[in-house]
Structure formats: C-alpha cells, structure tokens
Amino acid sequence: MRQIAQALRATLLAHPGMLTVVATRPVNTPGAFRLLESGLAILRGQDVPLGQAMDLLNAVVMFVIGHTLAEAGQTPGHEGTEPDTANLTVDPADYPNFAEALATGAGLDFETRFGLVLDILIAGFAALPELAGG
C-alpha cells in the first residue's frame, strides 16, 4: 500500500492539473481497472478479505488525492491566484499555537505528514478484528 500511495502522490505532484480529474471521475477505464486490480491482488495475497481490501485501497487513494491537492496548492483554472502561504503571519496573541507552528514549522512538512498519516491508515486497517485474527 505504501508503494502504491507514494507512486500515486509522485505522479499527481508531477501532473497537478490531473488532481481534480482523478478526484471526480469514477474508476472506469482499463488503465484504472489494472491499477485497482493490482492493488487488490497485493492485498488479497496478504489474506486481506476483499471488502477490507477495497476499503483500504479506497481510503488510501482518497487520502493521497486530498493530501496531494493541498500540497500542490493549485486550483486548476485559477493558476496564479493562490495565496502566498510562505509569508503567512498571524497574531500570536490571538493564535498562539498556530503562530508557533508557523514560526517553527512544526506539523507543516507535507512529506512527514504524508508518511505519518499513511502509516496510521495502514496500521488502523491492520488492527481491525477481521484482519488481526480476532
């Protein structure tokens, strides 16, 4: 799952204009079917029941799309109108925690967040009673 997620993220970051297409179109092409089947085969090969495999694959893909959309920071068709978040400042008196996060970078690294949440998703599914042998 990790390799599938990382490959999808890399592809979407390389082609951010495709994010809204991927997010809003159903899986209905032979290429998409092959990718889905490949992921399902990997999970089923690890004794993940079909329903759980579909749920995990869907959850990971939706996470990757949403995370990558935020990371790319572009709205297709509105290029050049994105806010300058690199120079964002907030009043620490009103927003002390957020101001500290901006000043230190705590919790703002997309790569770190991506890996952490992906691990949480995979571990959460693995802990389900149906998969953990319970």
Rounded to 10 degrees, the C-alpha dihedral 48/49/54/55 comes to -80
Length of the chain in residues, anyone?
A: 134
How many independent structural domains does the chain possess?
A: 1
Alpha carbon distance 72, 59 (integer Å): 20
Q: Give per-residue pLDDT as tens, 70-107.
A: 888 765 565 665 556 667 889 999 999 999 998 898 98
- In what helix (H) or strand (E) does residue 99 lie, and over which residues does it extend? helix 96-104
**What integer is the mean pLDDT of 55-79?**
84
Give the domain range for residue 72.
2-77+110-126
Residue 108 banded pLDDT, cuts 50, 70, 90:
confident
**What integer is the mean pLDDT of 8-15?**
93
Does 88 fall in a domain?
no
Does 104 fall in a domain?
no
